[in-house]
Amino acid sequence: MNPSLGKDATIPLTELTDALRAEAAEPPLEPEYGHDPDAKPAKETQVIAIYGKGGIGKSFTLANLSYMMAQTGKRVLLIGCDPKSDTTSLLFGGRACPTIIETSSKKKLAGEPVTIGDVCFKRDGVFAMELGGPEVGRGCGGRGIIHGFELLEKLGFHEWGFDYVLLDFLGDVVCGGFGLPIARDMCQKVIVVGSNDLQSLYVANNVCSAVEYFRRLGGNVGVAGMVINKDDGTGEAQAFADKAGIPVLAAIPAHDDIRKKSANYEIIGRPGTDWAPLFEELAINVAEAAPHQPRPLTQDGLLDLFSSDSTGRNVVLEPASFEDMCGKEYVEKPSLEVVYDDA
């Protein structure tokens, strides 16, 4: 186990340095790929973190998924962990939900405690809240997430009785707060949302790499699978999932009806609608999927999922010279260094 550097740490610096060097010198453990088909989450509440590139459709997927779960009788808590605070906007018809960080700051200035009713709201059986984040240039989003979860613990987070807690995280931000559920085993499994484009699969691959890294350090979080959003049928996301060793939980088509209804803040994952079977199946798959240890791809492996015309894989790297950097012909000047012969 890695030595801790908490505020009460008393490990001598030399001892800590030696321990870290010894750990760094050890070869990486060989991962055991795949999963136990009979594996079940250890906790009664399934805490699931959903990651993906910004704008890929995590909030859309989660709003409809959480709504469908609630309609089947499950108790669901949806927590937005994106500084944009847009996870709950579709669920609440476009209305902005007061964030935990903003509410906490206002209550602190007024000398009042934060209550659950200040930050948690519900619709048709779905409970939802937003952690929020600082304005641009005024703080660290990752630190805001850590502060938000600290406040949730004070509000009794570990005593709440939900069947599912769904966490919406940005996958293309790498600071510590956004990796909290994976690094600290706060969730049992991770779901990645991607599409048939290189950038979203790059982010999905990064999340898989993070899961693999922390599992090698003794973590227990696994990847339950992938949701393909805006699926146009070209197959790159499915190919990525196959190579990474994770299942596809659902493929949401790039359909104009979905786009229009989502733009109008309409929930399509409700029983009796045209798209209900899609989200009913997704709800079942999310609930039953076991956590897998993924096989992250290399950068070249990712590029191989696409044609060379779309990725520029045929480009040859040409090294630059000092003359190139100066923008003119460079004349090497004689050295003024004095070299003495050995006596």
pLDDT 10s digits, 224-243:
999 999 999 999 999 999 99
Cβ(214)–Cβ(246) under 8 Å?
A: no
Cβ(52)–Cβ(58) under 8 Å?
A: yes
Q: Which residues pair with 133 in a beta bridge?
A: none
Structure tokens given for 182: 């994976």
Residue 200 vs residue 184, higher pLDDT: 200
Q: Which residues pair with 293 in a beta bridge?
A: 34
**E runs forming strands in 152-202:** 164-170, 189-194
**Does residue 37 surpass a pLDDT of 90?**
no
166-182 average pLDDT score: 76
Least confident residue range of 4-18, 73-87, 264-278 = 4-18
Residue 156 vs residue 27, higher pLDDT: 156
Q: Give residue 174's pLDDT.
A: 61
Other CB atoms within a 10 A radius of the CB of residue 325 amount to 8
As a whole number of angstroms, the distance between CA 122 and CA 70 comes to 11
As a whole number of angstroms, the distance between CA 88 and CA 166 comes to 12
**CA 277 to each of CA 233, 250, 269, 270, 272: distance values in angstroms, whole numbers, following the listed order:** 19, 11, 8, 9, 9
**Does residue 137 surpass a pLDDT of 70?**
no
Say what the pTM is.
0.78
As a whole number of angstroms, the distance between CA 280 and CA 165 comes to 17
Residue 70 vs residue 306, higher pLDDT: 70
Q: Give residue 343's pLDDT.
A: 57
As a whole number of angstroms, the distance between CA 104 and CA 212 comes to 35
41-55 average pLDDT score: 82
Residue-averaged pLDDT of the chain? 83
174-194 average pLDDT score: 82
Q: How confident is the model at residue 149 (pLDDT cuts 50, 70, 90)?
A: confident
Q: How confident is the model at residue 14 (pLDDT cuts 50, 70, 90)?
A: low
Cβ(97)–Cβ(132) under 8 Å?
A: no
187 Cβ contact list (under 8 Å, min separation 6)? 47, 48, 49, 165, 167, 181, 221
Q: Give residue 13's pLDDT.
A: 54
As a whole number of angstroms, the distance between CA 166 and CA 177 comes to 16
Residue 16 vs residue 292, higher pLDDT: 292
As a whole number of angstroms, the distance between CA 141 and CA 148 comes to 10
Q: Which residues pair with 166 in a beta bridge?
A: 48, 78
168 Cβ contact list (under 8 Å, min separation 6)? 50, 58, 59, 62, 78, 79, 80, 81, 82, 87
CATH 3.40.50.300 fits 45-304, yes or no: yes
